Amino acid sequence: MLNGLLNQVQVTWRLMKDPRVPGWTKAIPVLGILYVISPFDFIPDFALGLGQLDDIGIMLASMRLFETLAPEMVVKEHRRQVGRK
């Protein structure tokens, strides 16, 4: 599970740097990060454990949505390269 999460982060990072991925899709993970650092939360962070779960969920969802909306062939290429490491 941890390996899959690390691969997801690597693929997202590689896609963010790839010029073949449209700029508007690159805004999706950025918005996820902005949500995590913003003072607004669906579940306040002072609720131990639960407060951080919504942050993690938003980040994972934003990475998956970004990957879904990025060009399929580019995503496959980066997944293959990350899988070889």
36-61 pLDDT, tens digit each? 888 776 666 666 667 678 888 899 99
**Do residues 55 and 41 touch, judged by C-beta distance below 8 A?**
yes
Contacting residues for 70 by C-beta, under 8 A, at least 6 apart: 15, 21, 22, 25
**Do residues 67 and 25 touch, judged by C-beta distance below 8 A?**
no
Mean pLDDT of the chain: 88
Rounded to two decimals, what is the model's pTM?
0.83
Tokens for 54, please give them.
């919504």
